[in-house]
């Protein structure tokens, strides 16, 4: 894999690559000269890739190796981005450097926090809870009718593939500019994915398991709570995970159609208009962080609740 | 099949790979499907009456019809349902409003007919014209995104370092509301002189890229250890294993993620038309409809988008069925 590692032995190679990497990094950050920065960026990328190669070839089984290599790739990306932008004097209106974006984030924390509350907490989260809960309850309600299930599954799966975001202008018209309309968009967006997944999940319990419940003389509700809902959990969480990102997307895009002077979508569209691209990137960073944390939280709850499922097994 | 990790949450659509895969073989459900669709349409009509009641009553009052309560102020306090019960004579009007809050289904169908069939395809008022603008960006972006996605997936499967460093980012990127950067991409590319089709296609490509990467990696890894051992006993080279085993085995996964990617591409193209107030395209129709309160136009554009999505997904499904049948997957 790694040419350096083959010649010098793993640990020596690791030492050489890491120290060279740090040296190039410092050199790049200290260089005032454009050409120098570009060379440092190129060198940093090559050395970093070598290091990932060493990790992948010799330390792949060490816990945290995957995180390390991913973080390293992210670091390479950030460094090259920073170097290229400053070396080529890329104007702010095209691509701001990561350091500029970070400075902007640090300066605008109150605004970012207010936008986050407006869009994420009020719009996305409330819509997510309402939409997912409604879909879950309706899925259980139609669960007794095989006819309805047969009809709803394909229709729901079809609707889930449609550009539902497009309903945003209508819902903004109905519910006004404030967060209620954003929550409504989110409800509509998450409803069908959640419904389809729950209905599908409730069909998961096998005939044999259902027969076993019958031999225990379990009633409908007992079978539902003790067998079929637990069996449906992987699907329910699949729906919840898909919905978690849809919720944020819905809330942000709905703000493009009208919002109070607050919110992530509003800030993105107005900052784009003012060509304040560093602010746009700051909002995107917040959105990315919020989206990943939201998804990660749902995934963690899933792991705790469906620990028995084969897909949760550690390989 | 229930733990098939094909889901593309960041893709801006809610289609689930898991459900889509297990839906295969669910045939003979025509009657239930039609019943559900009929129920939705009936609900829609029922909802249109109370929603449009207030403005219908206002119009009726202006036209000299006596309505109860007879002042707009008094009517504002009552719900649409109460008003409908007290003025049953006005109910038909609610379904034929000029700018209704909720247009009735047949109004949308008529608008679709007028703008799709009645208008010349090249006219700016034809919905086909706008749909084609959106679809061309969608298709271009979808092609780019899919190609890049497959190439990256092949790299990830064959290169340990790429697997360890790139794959976590591909997965993490799915949890990010990618669509939020659409306006920025449009404006930035605009400022360096790239306009029209390409910026929208780039958003589409970006959205369809990750579902394809994740689905393809899963698919290329789907051959079992036994099958891989079998290739080894035949002393097959890496390339032979790829072309004869991994690639064919990945096809069901590829098609499932292609469907997700195509639908996501369409969403990307539509949202890409929002920020700059594009001249044409379904997104532009949505935006101008919302500016001028032309609700029927919005709904018609929405249905056109749905038709486009259905055509895309349907075509891929057709290709899937033909391909998998030729390969012997079809049972």
pLDDT in tens, B259-294: 888 888 998 888 888 766 567 888 888 888 888 878
Task: Nearest chain A residue to B282 by CA: give it.
Answer: A166
Gap between the Cα atoms of B269 and B207, Å rounded: 10
**CB spacing of B14 vs A161 below 8 angstroms:** yes
User: pLDDT tens digits, residue range B160-205?
Assistant: 888 888 888 887 777 777 777 777 788 788 777 777 788 888 888 9
How confident is the model over A60-74, as a mean pLDDT? Answer: 83
Give the pair of three-digit tokens for residue A89: 């004097």
Alpha helices in chain B (DSSP H): 17-23, 30-62, 72-76, 80-86, 91-94, 105-113, 127-158, 160-173, 182-191, 197-220, 225-233, 238-241, 247-272, 282-292, 295-327
Highest mean pLDDT among A1-15, A60-74, A120-134, B300-314: A120-134
The string of DSSP letters for B44-76 reads: HHHHHHHHHHHHHHHHHHHTT---SS-SHHHHH
List the single residue in B36, B177, B290 with the smallest CB-CB distance to A287: B177
A51/B contact by beta carbon, under 8 A: no
Any bridge partners for residue B7, and if so which? B16
Bigger pLDDT: A5 vs A208:
A208
Give the pair of three-digit tokens for residue A193: 């994915």
**CB spacing of B161 vs A69 below 8 angstroms:** yes
Residue A178 has a pLDDT of 86
Residue B47 has a pLDDT of 86
Residue B331 has a pLDDT of 46
Do A196 and A239 meet the contact criterion of CB atoms below 8 Å apart?
Answer: yes
A246/B contact by beta carbon, under 8 A: yes
Residue B326 pLDDT class (50, 70, 90 cuts): confident
Gap between the Cα atoms of B155 and B147, Å rounded: 12
> Which residues have CB under 8 Å from A180's CB, separation 6+?
none
**CB spacing of B161 vs A74 below 8 angstroms:** no
List the single residue in A56, A165, A288 with the smallest CB-CB distance to B267: A165
Residue B136 has a pLDDT of 92
Residue A2 pLDDT class (50, 70, 90 cuts): low
Length of chain B (residues): 331
How confident is the model over A217-221, as a mean pLDDT? Answer: 90
Do B330 and B320 meet the contact criterion of CB atoms below 8 Å apart?
Answer: no
Give the pair of three-digit tokens for residue B79: 């719900």
Which residues 102-141 of chain A have a CB within 8 Å of chain B? none
Residue B18 has a pLDDT of 57
Gap between the Cα atoms of A114 and B27, Å rounded: 50
Gap between the Cα atoms of A106 and A94, Å rounded: 21
Gap between the Cα atoms of A17 and A44, Å rounded: 10
Q: C-alpha distances in angstroms, B126 versus A223, A297, B30, B121, B311?
A: 55, 46, 32, 6, 19
Mutate to test the interface with A, among B4, B10, B14 (most CBs of A within 10 A): B14
Gap between the Cα atoms of A276 and B184, Å rounded: 10
Asked if the peptide bond before residue B69 counts as cis, ω within 30 degrees of 0, the response is yes
**CB spacing of B181 vs A174 below 8 angstroms:** no
Gap between the Cα atoms of A51 and A13, Å rounded: 9
A235/B contact by beta carbon, under 8 A: yes
**CB spacing of A150 vs B32 below 8 angstroms:** yes
User: pLDDT tens digits, residue range A14-26?
Assistant: 787 788 878 777 7
Residue A121 confidence (pLDDT) above 70? yes
Mutate to test the interface with B, among A245, A254, A267, A289 (most CBs of B within 10 A): A245
Any bridge partners for residue B16, and if so which? B7
How confident is the model over A206-210, as a mean pLDDT? Answer: 88
- In this structure, what DSSP letter does residue B24 have? T
Query: Cα distance from B53 to chain A (closest Cα, Å)?
Result: 14
Task: Nearest chain B residue to A279 by CA: give it.
Answer: B184
Residue B124 confidence (pLDDT) above 90? no
Residue A301 has a pLDDT of 92
List the single residue in A162, A164, A242 with the smallest CB-CB distance to B7: A242
How confident is the model over A279-296, as a mean pLDDT? Answer: 89
A78/B contact by beta carbon, under 8 A: no
**CB spacing of B175 vs A284 below 8 angstroms:** no
Residue B6 confidence (pLDDT) above 60? no
Lowest average pLDDT, out of A217-221, A236-240, A298-302, B92-96, goes to B92-96
Residue B61 has a pLDDT of 79
Which residues in chain B have Cβ-Cβ distances shorter than 8 Å to A281?
A: 184
Bigger pLDDT: B189 vs A124:
A124
Q: What percent of chain B has pLDDT over 70?
A: 89
A193/B contact by beta carbon, under 8 A: yes
A65/B contact by beta carbon, under 8 A: yes
Residue B282 has a pLDDT of 87
Full-model pTM: 0.82
Query: Cα distance from B292 to chain A (closest Cα, Å)?
Result: 11
User: pLDDT tens digits, residue range B206-223?
Assistant: 888 888 888 898 889 888
Query: Cα distance from B118 to chain A (closest Cα, Å)?
Result: 24
**Conformation bin of residue A90: beta by default, left when phi > 0, alpha when psi is -120 to 50:** beta
A49/B contact by beta carbon, under 8 A: yes
Q: What percent of chain A has pLDDT over 90?
A: 17
A198/B contact by beta carbon, under 8 A: no
List the single residue in A60, A268, A287 with the smallest CB-CB distance to B183: A268
Residue B10 confidence (pLDDT) above 60? no
Residue A173 has a pLDDT of 83
The string of DSSP letters for B289-307 reads: HHHHT-HHHHHHHHHHHHH
Task: Name the one residue in this structure whose structure tokens are 């107030």.
Answer: B277
Residue B17 pLDDT class (50, 70, 90 cuts): low
Task: Nearest chain B residue to A146 by CA: give it.
Answer: B32
Lowest average pLDDT, out of A3-12, A216-225, B94-103, goes to A3-12
Bigger pLDDT: A298 vs A153:
A298
**CB spacing of A165 vs B310 below 8 angstroms:** no
Task: Nearest chain A residue to B167 by CA: give it.
Answer: A70
**CB spacing of A196 vs B177 below 8 angstroms:** no
Query: Cα distance from A34 to chain B (closest Cα, Å)?
Result: 22
Burial class (CB in 10 A: 0-12, 13-18, 19+), A34: middle
How confident is the model over B31-43, as a mean pLDDT? Answer: 88
pLDDT, mean over chain B: 81
Collapsing DSSP states into helix, strand and coil, what is residue B16? strand
Give the pair of three-digit tokens for residue A210: 């259902």
**CB spacing of B160 vs A1 below 8 angstroms:** yes
List the single residue in B2, B9, B165 with the smallest CB-CB distance to A73: B165
> Which residues have CB under 8 Å from A299's CB, separation 6+?
A237, A241
Burial class (CB in 10 A: 0-12, 13-18, 19+), A62: exposed
List the single residue in B40, B178, B290 with the smallest CB-CB distance to A169: B290
A275/B contact by beta carbon, under 8 A: yes
User: pLDDT tens digits, residue range B231-244?
Assistant: 999 999 989 999 99
Among B89, B52, B47, residue whose Cα is nearest residue B67: B89
List the single residue in A157, A243, A275 with the smallest CB-CB distance to B19: A157
Mutate to test the interface with B, among A161, A272, A280 (most CBs of B within 10 A): A161
**CB spacing of B15 vs A193 below 8 angstroms:** yes
Query: Cα distance from A220 to chain B (closest Cα, Å)?
Result: 24
Give the pair of three-digit tokens for residue A225: 């709570």
Do B223 and B247 meet the contact criterion of CB atoms below 8 Å apart?
Answer: no
pLDDT, mean over chain A: 85
Do B12 and B179 meet the contact criterion of CB atoms below 8 Å apart?
Answer: yes
**CB spacing of B16 vs A193 below 8 angstroms:** yes
Gap between the Cα atoms of B283 and B135, Å rounded: 11
A73/B contact by beta carbon, under 8 A: yes
Do B172 and A293 meet the contact criterion of CB atoms below 8 Å apart?
Answer: no
Residue B29 confidence (pLDDT) above 80? no
Residue B26 pLDDT class (50, 70, 90 cuts): low
Do A43 and A26 meet the contact criterion of CB atoms below 8 Å apart?
Answer: no
């Amino acid at each position: 894999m790694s040419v350096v590692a083959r010649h010098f032995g793993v640990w020596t190679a690791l030492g050489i690559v890491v120290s060279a990497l740090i040296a190039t990094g410092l050199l790049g950050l200290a260089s005032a000269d454009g050409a120098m920065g570009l060379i440092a960026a190129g060198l940093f990328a090559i050395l970093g890739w070598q290091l990932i190669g060493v990790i992948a070839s010799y330390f792949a089984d060490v816990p945290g190796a995957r995180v390390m290599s991913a973080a390293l790739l992210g670091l390479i990306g950030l460094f090259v981005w920073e170097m290229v932008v400053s070396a080529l004097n890329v104007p702010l209106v095209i691509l701001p450097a990561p350091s500029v974006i970070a400075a902007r984030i640090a300066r605008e924390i109150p605004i970012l926090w207010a936008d986050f509350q407006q869009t994420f907490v009020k719009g996305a989260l409330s819509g997510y809870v309402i939409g997912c809960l409604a879909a879950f309850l309706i899925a259980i309600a139609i669960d007794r009718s095989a006819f309805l299930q047969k009809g709803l599954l394909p229709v729901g799966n079809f609707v889930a593939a449609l550009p539902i975001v497009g309903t945003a202008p209508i819902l903004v018209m109905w519910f006004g500019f404030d967060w209620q309309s954003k929550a409504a968009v989110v409800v509509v967006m998450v409803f069908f994915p959640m419904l389809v997944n729950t209905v599908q999940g409730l069909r998961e319990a096998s005939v044999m398991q259902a027969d076993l419940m019958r031999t225990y003389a379990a009633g409908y509700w007992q079978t539902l709570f003790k067998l079929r809902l637990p069996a449906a959990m992987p699907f329910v969480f699949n729906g919840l995970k898909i919905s978690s990102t849809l919720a944020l997307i819905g809330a942000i895009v709905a703000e493009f159609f009208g919002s109070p002077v607050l919110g992530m979508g509003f800030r993105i569209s107005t900052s784009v208009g003012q060509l304040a691209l560093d602010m746009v990137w700051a909002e995107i960073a917040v959105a990315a962080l919020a989206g990943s944390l939201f998804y990660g939280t749902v995934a963690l709850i899933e792991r705790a609740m469906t620990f028995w499922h084969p897909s949760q097994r550690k390989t | 099949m229930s733990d098939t990790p094909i889901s593309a949450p960041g893709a801006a659509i809610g289609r689930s790979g898991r459900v889509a895969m297990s839906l295969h073989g669910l045939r003979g459900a025509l009657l239930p499907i039609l019943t559900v669709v009929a129920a939705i349409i009936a609900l829609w009509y029922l909802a249109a009456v109370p929603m449009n009641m207030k403005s219908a009553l206002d119009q009726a009052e202006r036209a000299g019809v006596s309505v109860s309560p007879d002042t707009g102020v008094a009517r504002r306090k009552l719900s649409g349902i109460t008003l409908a019960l007290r003025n049953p004579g006005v109910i038909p009007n609610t379904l034929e409003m000029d700018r209704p809050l909720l247009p009735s289904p047949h109004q949308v169908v008529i608008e679709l007919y007028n703008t799709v069939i009645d208008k010349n395809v090249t006219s700016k008022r034809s919905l086909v014209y706008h749909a084609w603008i959106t679809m061309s960006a969608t298709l271009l972006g979808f092609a780019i995104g899919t190609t890049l996605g497959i190439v990256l997936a092949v790299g990830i499967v064959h290169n340990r370092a790429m697997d360890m460093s790139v794959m976590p980012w591909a997965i993490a990127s799915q949890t990010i509301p990618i669509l939020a950067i659409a306006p920025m991409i449009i404006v930035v590319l605009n400022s360096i002189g790239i306009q029209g089709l390409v910026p929208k296609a780039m958003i589409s490509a970006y959205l369809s890229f990750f579902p394809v990467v994740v689905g393809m990696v899963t698919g290329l890894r789907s051959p079992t250890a036994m099958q891989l051992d079998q290739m080894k006993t035949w002393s097959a080279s890496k390339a032979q294993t790829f072309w004869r085993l991994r690639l064919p085995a990945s096809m069901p996964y590829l098609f499932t993620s292609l469907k997700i990617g195509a639908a996501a591409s369409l969403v990307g193209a539509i949202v890409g038309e929002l920020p700059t107030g594009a001249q044409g395209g379904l997104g532009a129709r949505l935006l101008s409809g919302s500016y001028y309160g032309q609700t029927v136009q919005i709904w018609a554009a929405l249905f056109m988008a749905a038709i486009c999505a259905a055509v895309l997904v349907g075509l891929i499904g057709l290709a899937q069925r033909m391909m998998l049948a030729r390969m012997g997957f079809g049972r």
